[in-house]
Amino acid sequence: MGCAPDSDDVYLRPSVKTAAKLLVVGHFAVGKTTFVGTLSEIRPLRTEEVMTQAGALVDDLAGTRDKTTTTVAMDFGRLTINDSLVLYLFGAPGQRRFTKLWHDMTRGALGALVLADTRRLSHSFEVMGLLEELNLPYAVAVNDFEGAPVHSLDEVREALDLLDETPLVRCDARHPDSSTRALISLVEYLLSRKTELEHA
């Protein structure tokens, strides 16, 4: 699994019976575009534009001095799990001005993976609050940036005030194995919730 942008295998296998929509969300510059691109087996759709001086007035660039582009609509990728199941990954822009787009993107989504950055943990509250408002289950993955403060997952859980049941893992959005494990934590959580609801 991982990005294969030059692959000719663009079309779904005829055996695929189930497609699941998952969101990859988080605050501005947390690594969503990188994450989707790392896992997508097709050339990912990206809607990145060069940041302008006008954008600098509304986007918090603290800790992101090297960032020159920003997502203005969404990222999209595809990951085939087996012969019958495929995941569609939708990366949502992290700025507040795209909240309406979030509402549209959550339609039909089974859940979301929230990427977090220990340099700006407080920025995750708005993202998680919106998911809770939309009643969309989520897992959290701490995207490890070079030079970022290192905290234990217990400390991060407490700082983010996460429920005990909410999955919390570390990942490096640049690496397929690490990103896959983060996505698996979300999928396993969604499956466990489905089982609980069926037996309720």
Asked whether residue 25 is domain-assigned, the answer is yes
Count CA atoms within 13 Å of residue 56 on its CB side: 10
Return the pLDDT at 28.
87
User: 46-53 contacts: CB < 8 A, separation 24 or more?
Assistant: 46/71, 46/75, 47/71, 47/72, 47/73, 47/74, 47/75, 48/72
Q: Over 60: is that where the pLDDT of 49 sits? A: no
Percent of the residues in the chain that have a pLDDT greater than 70, as a whole number: 78
pTM: 0.81
Structural domain range at position 29? 18-198
Cα distances (Å, whole numbers) of residue 40 to 28, 33, 91, 142, 144: 21, 11, 11, 20, 20
Task: Please count the structural domains in the chain.
Answer: 1
Higher per-residue pLDDT: 23 or 94: 23
Asked whether residue 43 is domain-assigned, the answer is yes
Return the pLDDT at 23.
96
Structure tokens at 95: 């700025």
Over residues 93-145, the pLDDT tens digits come to 866 666 777 788 899 999 999 999 999 999 999 999 999 999 999 999 999 99
Return the pLDDT at 72.
47
Asked whether residue 194 is domain-assigned, the answer is yes
CB atoms within 10 A of CB 163: 7
Nearest to 113 by CA among 158, 153, 143: 143
Asked whether residue 10 is domain-assigned, the answer is no
Asked whether residue 64 is domain-assigned, the answer is yes
- Tell me the CATH number at 34: 3.40.50.300
Asked whether residue 13 is domain-assigned, the answer is no
Asked whether residue 4 is domain-assigned, the answer is no
Residues 129 and 138: beta-carbon distance below 8 Å? no
CB atoms within 10 A of CB 67: 12
Structure tokens at 177: 């194995």
Q: What is the mean pLDDT of residues 136-155?
A: 95
Asked whether residue 168 is domain-assigned, the answer is yes
Over residues 5-22, the pLDDT tens digits come to 444 466 788 888 899 999
